[in-house]
């Protein structure tokens, strides 16, 4: 599951009047419903008003969806630059293939992490013929200048560290939270975890130098009197040392956080970069089958790039 980013999600220029990071704010943004490779998704990030939370720059929540024997998600070979793709499932199975030669099924509670760097291509297929339903999220992490032109890489993690809290438990798949630390590669200080809440209140200690966002995957979670449900992104800003949440029914959510990213990335289609020139180069390299994106054979059709609006 991946992109593409359209101008509805993110402007095709760097916004010089970028909104500064909010301290101790609470903002609730509706996700945008869209379709990626036959799968309905709720796109929580990016928003035109907010491109990043830490280095997290993309979040597509898909399902839960009964596949009834249909193939489900089928996203053919497509390229990425300048980002990591983070795939996390609640139900079902997705098979990842990439131009590094990786072929990796992923199941609930496991992490697939692909680092694009200067260029990689991959495909993703759910296995609806084997498993009845699909539910999960795909996230992107923008890479910093220090690593975004490096070689691509892929990691699979099937042992995700867990943390426990009053009334809650968490699987920490990126960074550290509640005393648990993931061994997954991170290029900037970030955290990503899935929490399961029982009915009642839970308190989570936060880092004041991180900003945080929350996406409910199932159930509903109350922050003060505000109800957060699937299909919304809650943003909490920086400068909080704890987050107090109440669940009126068993709920599951994703908490994403990180040091505010030092600049606003330019996002177009499946590319994260710093300038239109870089994106134009990646576009023409993909369309000309350049060596940069490697070779990937798939039964699925290769996805051609649309022409950038500025060309």
Q: Which is nearer to Mn ion, 141 or 163 (by Cβ)?
A: 141
What's the min distance (Å) between Cβ of 122 and Mn ion?
6
Decide: residue 3, CB within 10 A, 0-12 exposed, 13-18 middle, 19+ buried: buried
Nearer to Mn ion, 2 or 110 (CB): 2
Query: Does residue 87 bind Mn ion (CB under 5 A)?
Result: no
- Residue 258: HSE in the Cβ half-sphere, 13 Å Cα cutoff: 24
Burial (Cβ within 10 Å: 0-12, 13-18, ≥19) of residue 104: middle
Question: Measured between alpha carbons, how far is 149 from 152 in angstroms, rounded to an integer?
Answer: 9
Sole residue written with tokens 């649309």: 306
Q: How far is the CB of 140 from Mn ion (least distance, A)?
A: 8
Q: Map the footprint of Mn ion across residues 2-21, applying CB under 5 A.
A: 2
In the complex with Mn ion, which residue's Cβ is closer, 58 or 204?
58
Tally of CB atoms within 10 A around 129: 11
Rounded to the nearest whole angstrom, what is the least distance from the CB of residue 115 to Mn ion in the complex? Answer: 12
Nearest residue to Mn ion on Cβ basis: 2
Quick one: 96 or 171, whose CB is closer to Mn ion?
96
* Closer to Mn ion by Cβ: residue 2 or 39: 2
Name the CA dihedral angle for 138, 59, 163, 144, rounded to a multiple of 10 degrees: 100
Q: How far is the CB of 286 from Mn ion (least distance, A)?
A: 12
Strands 271-273 and 226-228, bridge-based pairing = unpaired
Least Å distance, CB 283 to Mn ion, is 15
Enclosing H/E stretch for 284: helix 276-287
Shortest Å, Cβ 116 to Mn ion: 9
Q: What is the DSSP letter of 119?
A: -
In the numeric block, which tokens belong to residue 290? 């350049």
Size of the site for Mn ion (CB under 5 A): 1
Element (H, E) at 226: strand 226-228
Residue closer to Mn ion by CB (options 2, 99) is: 2
Instruction: Kindly indicate which of the ranges 1-9, 87-95, 184-192, 301-309 contains the residues binding Mn ion, using the contact rule CB under 5 A.
Output: 1-9
Would you say 190 and 175 are in contact if contact means Cβ atoms under 8 Å apart?
yes
Chain residues binding Mn ion by CB under 5 A are 2
């Amino acid at each position: 599951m991946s992109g593409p980013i359209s101008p509805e999600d993110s402007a095709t220029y760097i916004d010089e009047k970028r909104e500064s990071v909010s301290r101790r704010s609470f903002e609730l943004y509706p996700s945008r419903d869209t379709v990626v490779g036959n799968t309905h998704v709720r796109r929580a990030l990016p928003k035109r008003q907010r491109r990043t939370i830490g280095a997290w720059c993309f979040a597509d929540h898909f399902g839960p969806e009964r596949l009834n024997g249909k193939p489900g998600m089928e996203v053919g070979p497509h390229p990425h630059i300048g980002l990591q793709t983070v795939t996390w499932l609640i139900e079902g199975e997705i098979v990842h293939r990439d131009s590094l030669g990786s072929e990796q099924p992923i199941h609930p509670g496991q992490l697939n992490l692909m680092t694009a760097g200067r260029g990689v291509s991959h495909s993703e297929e759910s296995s609806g013929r084997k498993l009845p339903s699909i539910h999960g999220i795909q996230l992107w992490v923008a890479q910093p200048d220090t690593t975004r032109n490096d070689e691509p890489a892929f990691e699979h993690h099937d042992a995700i560290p867990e943390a426990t809290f009053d009334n809650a438990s968490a699987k920490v798949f990126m960074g550290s939270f509640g005393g648990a630390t993931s061994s997954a590669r991170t290029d900037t200080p970030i955290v990503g975890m899935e929490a399961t809440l029982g009915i009642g209140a839970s308190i989570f200690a936060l880092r004041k130098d991180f900003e945080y966002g929350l996406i409910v995957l199932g159930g509903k979670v109350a922050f003060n009197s505000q109800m957060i449900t699937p299909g919304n992104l809650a943003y909490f800003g920086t400068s909080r040392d704890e987050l107090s949440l109440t669940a009126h029914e068993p709920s599951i959510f994703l908490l994403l956080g990180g040091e505010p990213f030092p600049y606003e990335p330019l996002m177009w289609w499946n590319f994260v970069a710093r300038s239109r020139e870089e994106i134009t180069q990646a576009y023409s390299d993909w369309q000309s089958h350049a060596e940069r994106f490697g070779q990937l054979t798939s039964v699925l059709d290769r996805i051609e790039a649309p022409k950038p609006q500025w060309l």
